[in-house]
């Protein structure tokens, strides 16, 4: 009788031990799951906070919430605008030497030495002297900017027209050019974060010259 009692007692202890161990295991498993869930929420909140920009409006009294887009979401649009900005700086010129030099300085921030070489080549040929002496305004009309963003450096093709506006007539010129773009650090002088490489003009031939009054009347 005593032996049988001791056996049942030992069985009860063993059963209790397994039961306690199961409870401890489930408790640890629950704690691990809870810790994982907290870590996930923390990561999610941190990631979402990085995608938000809080902007103080001009009144200084309210805050507007703006969602930040992925860095590469608008890169093709930024690349095209980078090229268009350069073209306007380089080819929109007034008969003012100071204004020409300032435009060229800003244009140089957007590309490599190929831009400077093209400027120096035009200057050596007396192009800017003719602008100043003839009181000529040069304007660019950009028709298209083609871009291949499939691999870096990004190839870019340019089709445009150049207008040389004089007192009595306007000369239209064809402008075909190409270049490559590489990613760069954004700065105040280069907000899009691109650098133009190997810029070259492949066609800058005259199309026609018309009377200025005629162009203004038809325009």
Mean pLDDT of the chain: 84
The β-bridge partners of 208 are 172
**SS3 at position 215:** helix
> Which residues of 19-153 form beta strands (DSSP E)?
52-56, 63-67, 137-148
pLDDT digits (tens, 9 = 90+) for 39-77: 777 776 665 655 554 455 555 444 444 444 555 668 999
Q: Are 195 and 181 contacting, i.e. CB atoms less than 8 angstroms apart? A: yes
Pairing of strands 169-183, 194-203: antiparallel
Residue 138 pLDDT > 50, yes or no?
A: yes
Architecture of domain 75-218 in CATH? Roll (3.10)
Find the mean pLDDT for residues 158-162.
Answer: 98
Are 202 and 180 within 8 A, CB to CB? no
**Cβ distance 167 to 156 under 8 Å?**
no
Whole-number Å distance between alpha carbons of 194 and 211:
40
Structure tokens at 30: 């629950």
**Lowest-pLDDT choice from 25-34, 59-68, 158-167:** 59-68
Give Cβ neighbours of residue 187 (< 8 Å, ≥ 6 apart): 109
pLDDT confidence of residue 22: 74
Cα 19–chain centre separation: 62
Q: What is the predicted pLDDT for the residue at 142? A: 98
pLDDT of residue 47: 58
Q: Is pLDDT of 1 > 70? A: no
If you average pLDDT over residues 148-171, what whole number do you get? Answer: 96
Q: What is the number of residues in the chain?
A: 219
As a whole-number percent, the residues of the chain with pLDDT over 70 amount to 75
Q: What is the pLDDT of residue 219?
A: 47
What is the structure's pLDDT at 56? 52
Q: Is 175 exposed, middle or buried (0-12, 13-18, 19+ CB in 10 A)?
A: buried
Q: Cβ–Cβ contacts within 10 Å for residue 199, how many? A: 25
Average pLDDT over every residue of 14-24: 70
Checking if the pLDDT of 5 tops 80, the result is no
Q: Given this model, what pLDDT does residue 75 score? A: 93
Separation CA 102–CA 120 (nearest Å): 15
Domains in the chain: boundaries:
2-55+61-66, 75-218
Whole-number pLDDT of residue 49: 57
Percentage with pLDDT > 90 across the chain: 63
Q: What is the pLDDT confidence band of residue 151, given thresholds at 50, 70 and 90?
A: very high
Residue 208 has pLDDT above 80, yes or no: yes
| Count of Cβ atoms closer than 10 Å to residue 170 Cβ | 20
pLDDT of residue 216: 57
Calculate the alpha carbon distances from 73 to 59, 182, 204 in Å. 31, 16, 34
């Amino acid at each position: 009788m005593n032996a049988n009692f001791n056996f049942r007692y030992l069985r009860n202890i063993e059963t209790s031990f397994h039961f306690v161990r199961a409870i401890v295991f489930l408790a640890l498993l629950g704690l691990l799951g809870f810790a994982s869930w907290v870590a996930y929420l923390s990561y999610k909140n941190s990631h979402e906070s990085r995608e938000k920009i809080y902007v103080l409006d001009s009144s200084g009294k309210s805050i507007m919430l703006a969602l930040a887009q992925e860095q590469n979401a608008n890169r093709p649009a930024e690349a095209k605008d980078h090229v268009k900005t350069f073209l306007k700086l380089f080819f929109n010129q007034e008969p003012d030497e100071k204004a020409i030099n300032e435009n060229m300085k800003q244009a140089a921030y957007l590309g490599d030495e190929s831009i400077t070489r093209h400027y120096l080549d035009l200057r050596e040929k007396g192009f800017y002297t003719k602008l100043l002496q003839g009181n000529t305004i040069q304007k660019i009309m950009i028709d298209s900017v083609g871009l291949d963003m499939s691999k870096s450096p990004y190839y870019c093709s340019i089709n445009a027209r150049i207008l040389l506006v004089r007192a009595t007539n306007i000369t239209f010129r064809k402008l075909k050019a190409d270049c490559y773009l590489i990613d760069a650090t954004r700065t105040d002088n280069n907000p899009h974060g691109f650098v133009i490489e190997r810029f070259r003009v492949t066609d800058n031939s005259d199309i026609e010259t018309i009377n200025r009054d005629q162009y203004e009347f038809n325009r």
